[in-house]
Structures are given as structure tokens and as C-alpha cells.
Homo-oligomer: A and B are copies of this chain.
Amino acid sequence: MFPFRVIHQEDVEQLLDMKHVIELVERAYTLKAQKEAALFPMVFHEFSPGVADMDIKSGHLMGADIFGLKLVSWYGENPAKNLPPLVGFVLVLDSRTGVPIGMMGGDAVTLMRTGAAGGIGAKYLARKESENLLLIGSGHLAPFLIMSTLMIMEQIKKVTVINPRSYEKAAHFCTSMKAKLKEKFLSPYQADEEIYQTYLRRIEMVEVVATDQIQTATEEADIIMTATPSRQPIIQKDWIKPGTHLSCVGADMVGKQEIDESIFSSARVFVDDVTQAIHVGETEIPVKKGGFNKNEIIAEIGSVILGQTPGRLSDEDITIFDSTGIALQDIITADYILKQAKAKGLGIVAHL
């Protein structure tokens, strides 16, 4: 018999803060680059094509003595039942003994680790002096991508938001964005006045605008993040100025695409996991159409974080980080939550 801890959703949200998650996701990437972490094969099942599916992503972080899995169900008809379309969980086990440690719902973990990933792409691949962030997509992920970028990139002066389907939604999102960022992300830092004030200032000082002028916004952007469920390119190659960085986080299954595939052949391309990127990431379509070879991927991002592979070589480079989302991000974040919860006596414990 062993204790197994399950964390309530509200506690997961309370225990996570973006600064820590950025560190955790970087650690997952670097462990992978050091061969101290590995992904297991993904299980994917379509219950009903276009209506409901699920996947099980799993992996091992030897360097952190944990392994685990994330299961995510997508049920497109759930909202009609007052349920979220995406539901799932993350479960962590001890890789020294195989014993299950604990679990939690997957929602908050996924949003935080995906937001962190977008920012990490910018941290290692964008120009340090980047001022203009363009965000394509105004959905659940948007505040997480903006917050991680504001925390990481000190010079951001303007965030432009585009919802390719609805200018109104983007505008509405921008109206409440600053309040949302403060409410969602700042409370963990209240005990540290300096950090709190730094992040508060960045939120308050940044200009936030919605637009429907995709070309103009792209031409202005130093950093572009894409987080939509699109299946056709939104960003065209001609619009992108030299020196731009793109963090593509929306594409996570076969057929998804957010940027023109021809951008790949003239960019320095980095991914979180080569296998996943060419199968389900933004890299899938360029490789399938033949204009980009998977051997042209410069490296997995962990190698850049470790300093083993240079990120951008000049201020003129266009850089891409294809973040498909790997189980290692979820497992290391969930493990952190479980450790915090144990220390604070949060969650419930069963004896399995």
C-alpha cells in the first residue's frame, strides 16, 4: 500500500505560478537534450472522427526520478452539455520504484506549460530588444502566452491581438486583458515586493490593441505567437520582416497549420520534439509538402537552452519555435504541484 495524492483544481491553480512553470518547462527541455528524459509512443484514438478523440502522452524524466502520463479527451459536443471540450489529467509516478505518486486535472497544467513554452521560444530565439508582440488567437491560451512573454522579454511595449475569425472577440479580449493578467498571475508574487512590482509595471505599461489588419501587424511584429485551431496558414511569408521570431503553439495534431509553409525554408527552425513536430506540429505540413526537410530542423530547443546549439545567428534571422507540447512539460509541472501540495497538506490522499 502506498499513499496517492489527488489535487483539487482550485489548489492546482493556486500552487502554480508562471515564473516557476517557465523554469520547470526549461528543465524538461534541457533534460531531454541531455538524454535525461524521453517520450514514450503516443496513443491516439478517435471515438468518432471530428467529434471525439483522446490521446495518452507519456514519458520519463530520469533526471528528475519521475515518469508519468497525460490523458486528454476532446469532445466537440461537450459544450452543449455544459462541459468543457477538453478534459483530462496528469499522473506522476516514481521512476525509482514504479509507485504512483499522485495526479490532478490537466487543464491548468496544460495552459501554464503551453504559455511558458511560447515565452521560452522568445527568450532563446527572439531579439533581446523585441518590442512588439503579435498574438494570433484570443482564446484560453492567449493570457498565458502574453504573461510569459511579458515576464521574459523586458522590452515589450505593445501587444497586438488578432482573432482571425472575429475582430470583436479580439477587441473584447483586449478590453479586459490587463485586469485578467493581474488577477490570474500576480498573486503568487505578493510576498516579494520587487518581483511583484516589476511584473505589475510590465502589465500596466504595455499597450494592448486588437486589430484585423493581419499584414500590417505582421510587418510590425518582432515576436509572433500563434495559438489557434487553424488548418490553413494565417501568416504569409511576404509579410514577415527580417529578425522576427515565431512561437507556433496552436498546431498539435495532424492537419493543423497557422503559418505559410514557405516560411520554414528561410527560417532557423527549432522544435520541442522532432518526432512530434513532424507528425502533428507546425512542421508537419512543410515537411509533407516537401519544401522543408526534417533534417533542416536546427535542433530541439533544449539544446539551445544548454548553449550547445546557437539560436539566432544574426538580427536578420527569422526564427521559429514549433511547440507541439510534450508530456515531459506536464509531468515535471505536475510533480512540482504534488511536492508543493504535500508540503502544504493540500489535496486528498488515498491508500492504493
A residues near B (Cβ < 8 Å) are 1-2, 4, 6-10, 40-41, 43, 45, 47, 52, 54, 56, 58, 60, 67, 69, 71, 73-75, 78, 81, 83, 87-89, 91, 93, 95, 97-100, 103-105, 347-352
20 CB contacts below 8 A, A to B, read A4-B89, A6-B348, A8-B351, A10-B351, A40-B56, A45-B67, A47-B95, A54-B67, A54-B98, A56-B56, A56-B69, A73-B93, A73-B99, A83-B97, A89-B100, A91-B91, A100-B105, A105-B352, A348-B348, A348-B349
In the complex, how many angstroms separate the beta carbon of A88 from the nearest chain B beta carbon? 7
Chain A residues touching B, majority SS: strand
| Interchain CB contact under 8 A, B45 and A8 | no
In the complex, how many angstroms separate the beta carbon of A133 from the nearest chain B beta carbon? 32
Residue of B nearest to A68 (CB): B71
| Interchain CB contact under 8 A, A58 and B43 | yes
**Known contacts A10-B351, A73-B97; 11 further A-B pairs (Cβ under 8 A):** A9-B351, A41-B41, A47-B60, A47-B95, A56-B69, A71-B91, A81-B97, A83-B99, A87-B97, A89-B91, A100-B105
Chain B residues near A2 (CB-CB < 8 A):
83, 87
| Interchain CB contact under 8 A, B6 and A6 | yes
Chain B residues near A105 (CB-CB < 8 A):
1, 4, 100, 352
| Interchain CB contact under 8 A, A352 and B52 | no
| A87, B352: Cα distance in complex, Å | 9
| Interchain CB contact under 8 A, A56 and B54 | no
Chain B residues near A351 (CB-CB < 8 A):
8-10
| Interchain CB contact under 8 A, B9 and A89 | no
| Interchain CB contact under 8 A, A60 and B87 | no
| Interchain CB contact under 8 A, A98 and B69 | no
Chain B residues near A97 (CB-CB < 8 A):
73, 75, 78, 81, 83, 87
Chain B residues near A348 (CB-CB < 8 A):
6, 348-350
Chain B residues near A71 (CB-CB < 8 A):
69, 91, 93, 100
Output the residue of A6, A52, A348 with the most chain B CB within 10 A.
A6
Chain B residues near A54 (CB-CB < 8 A):
67, 93, 98
Output the residue of A47, A98, A103 with the most chain B CB within 10 A.
A98
